[in-house]
Amino acid sequence: MNTILLFLGNLGFNEILLIGVIVLVFFGAKKIPEFMKGLGRGVREFKDSMNDVKRDLEDSGREASKKIEDQK
């Protein structure tokens, strides 16, 4: 939540409301849920990819340490 507040900076309620109205006018009420669902899917896939990369790095680190121990 703090990250969101930092991202918004000094935007007040009126500015956020104005942005919401503009988005509603441009996209329409029916398109916004579809857009948010797609955005959520994209964020989830990004996080899953990050976890996969982290897991791969940890696995390679374990394999490297095992090879070093085997050489001793």
* Entry pTM: 0.53
On whether the CB atoms of residues 34 and 25 are closer than 8 A, the answer is: no
What is the predicted pLDDT for the residue at 19? 86
Domain boundary assignment for the chain: 2-71
pLDDT digits (tens, 9 = 90+) for 5-64: 556 567 788 888 898 888 888 888 888 888 889 989 999 999 999 999 999 999 888 887
DSSP letters along 2-46, please?
HHHHHHHTT--HHHHHHHHHHHHHHH-TTHHHHHHHHHHHHHHHH
